[in-house]
Amino acid sequence: MRTLIVTYFFVLALSMPAYAQQWQQVAQQVTTVAGTVQENVRQTESIIAQERREISAEKNALQDSIDVRQKEFSTLKAQYDALLQQEKVLQEELAEQAHELKTIDGTIRTAAKQARDYFHESLTTPEFPQRETVLAEVLQPEKFPGLEGIQNLLTLLLEELQVSGTVARRTGSFIGTDGKDKTGDLLRIGSFTMAYRLPDGSLGFLRPGNDASTLVAVQGAPGWKLSGLMREYFEGKGTVFPVDISNGAAFTRLAQDQKGIYEWLSAGGLLVWPIILVGIAALVLVVERFYSLSKIRGNSDRNMATILGMVDNGKWKECRQFCREQSMYPTCRIIGHTLKYLGNTREIIENAFQEGLLKELPMLERFLPTLNVLAAVAPLLGLLGTVTGMINTFQIITVYGTGDPRMMSGGISEALVTTQLGLAVAVPIMILHHILERRVDKIIGDMEEKGTGFAVALMKLGKIKTREELDAAA
């Protein structure tokens, strides 16, 4: 269009001067030019139209392409989402599987640890020293044992199961009761009893040591009867073998129970000795008393009958002689003493008799008060020991606290042993003292009666003068 206008104004300017002359020509020319221009315009328009067509075709093509791509994209996106979903599911599955695996691993480790503890205390372990390495492999930290490890563990356990049902004899070494290494015949019955026989013939039971693969002899020898059975079995003669199902605990307990009297006493500390001294002194006194009193009692009735018979017959000389001969008996001594005063008044004779009795009393009652004091002192000494022991205990508590009862048991056993001993000494002394006292009372009563009987016998014979007679004689 612009070209059209420019061209028009150019044609106008050109044609202006020659307007007059050449108007016709010009008009013709203009028409030609106009025609050309129109032609050009047409041409241009057609070109434009064509280009427009081309562009829109191109645009359509591009639009199609975009649509196709878009479609493709959405398809792929859906696919991607689905894959993500799948991945998530698989991840969960994986986690689950890993947990299971961990559980299995833990179970195997626990089983292996249990097996280690069991084998550690098993009597069969010394026969299979390779157990330790197998277990160590299974128990390696941060490493899954694997199928091989599990199988090895299983084999060990099955082996133990099998071995625990057998009786095995072999020659081997162990730690003896004295702590030295010994070598001898070993006999294992199942997994609970093991015994040894040394070449010198000594027998005993064994228990597993502190570390696996050693055996330790149990303290305390089996009795004579058990030894016989065991020896017969070792020599292949017997079919019976005593078993110790407690793994040596019973023997240890037995050895504890058979604590000697010396250990018992030494647990009581220093105060035990005075108590024992008191007991021995009391025993000596009691034996002495029983001996001398038993001599007195038996003969007094018979002697008295003899004496009275002699008195009745007036055999004074024989009577004196008899009393001298039997002077170990207090009754005879008293009567012998009284006989010296024959012919005096009754009062004098009675006084003489009482004097004789008073002389005898200390001999009869000798040591009885001492015995009484000893019976009272023994439990007091025991009580003193109790207090001493408790003081020791509390001193230990101040130093070590109450954490370990074993620390305190020394003082407590001192306290208890002294109390026990004090009572054990006092009770028999008390009873024996009572018996002796009764016996002495009886003897004294007996003597008094005999004395009165004697006086009466004299009186009947008229050998006792009344005061008037005596005065008359004087």
Footprint on this chain of another protein (rule: CB under 8 A) = 253, 256, 346, 350, 379, 405-406, 409, 412-413, 416-417, 419-420, 423-424, 426-427, 430-431, 434, 437-438, 441-442, 445-446, 448-449, 451-453, 455-456, 459-460
Residue (46 or 452) nearer to another protein, CB: 452
Measured from the CB of residue 210, what is the shortest distance to another protein in angstroms?
18
Quick check: 420 and 439 in contact, CB under 8 A? no
Residue (153 or 286) nearer to another protein, CB: 286
Phi/psi at 314 (5° precision): 75, 25
Measured from the CB of residue 409, what is the shortest distance to another protein in angstroms?
4
Measured from the CB of residue 157, what is the shortest distance to another protein in angstroms?
30
Measured from the CB of residue 266, what is the shortest distance to another protein in angstroms?
14
Exposure on the CB side of residue 344, measured as CA atoms within 13 A: 13
**CA–CA dist 243, 232 (Å, integer):** 14
Residue (189 or 417) nearer to another protein, CB: 417
Measured from the CB of residue 438, what is the shortest distance to another protein in angstroms?
7
**CA–CA dist 437, 368 (Å, integer):** 7
**CA–CA dist 241, 253 (Å, integer):** 21
Quick check: 173 and 155 in contact, CB under 8 A? no
Measured from the CB of residue 244, what is the shortest distance to another protein in angstroms?
18
Residue (124 or 338) nearer to another protein, CB: 338
Residue (344 or 413) nearer to another protein, CB: 413
What are 468's two structure tokens? Answer: 């008037």
Measured from the CB of residue 106, what is the shortest distance to another protein in angstroms?
30
Residue (253 or 315) nearer to another protein, CB: 253
Residue closest to 42 by CA, chosen among 52, 34, 53: 34
Residue 101 identity: L
Measured from the CB of residue 468, what is the shortest distance to another protein in angstroms?
13
Residue closest to 371 by CA, chosen among 418, 291, 431, 420: 431
Q: For residue 346, what is the enclosing H or E element? A: helix 346-365
Residue 60 identity: N
Measured from the CB of residue 392, what is the shortest distance to another protein in angstroms?
13
Q: Give the number of other Cβ atoms within 10 Å of residue 271's Cβ.
A: 23
**CA–CA dist 187, 319 (Å, integer):** 86
Residue (287 or 459) nearer to another protein, CB: 459
Measured from the CB of residue 456, what is the shortest distance to another protein in angstroms?
5
Residue 114 identity: Q
Measured from the CB of residue 427, what is the shortest distance to another protein in angstroms?
5
Question: Which residue in this structure is represented by tokens 């299971």?
Answer: 100
- Mapping DSSP to helix (H, G, I), strand (E, B) and coil, where does residue 403 land? coil
Residue closest to 285 by CA, chosen among 349, 368, 404: 368
**CA–CA dist 307, 322 (Å, integer):** 8
Burial class (CB in 10 A: 0-12, 13-18, 19+), 174: buried
What's the per-residue H, E or C state across 406-460?
Answer: HHHHHHHHHHHHHHHHHHHHHHHHHHHHHHHHHHHHHHHHHHHHHHHHHHHHHHH
Residue (212 or 415) nearer to another protein, CB: 415
Residue (72 or 301) nearer to another protein, CB: 301
Residue (334 or 426) nearer to another protein, CB: 426
Measured from the CB of residue 434, what is the shortest distance to another protein in angstroms?
4
What are 442's two structure tokens? Answer: 């009886």
Residue (185 or 448) nearer to another protein, CB: 448
**CA–CA dist 323, 335 (Å, integer):** 7
Residue (4 or 412) nearer to another protein, CB: 412
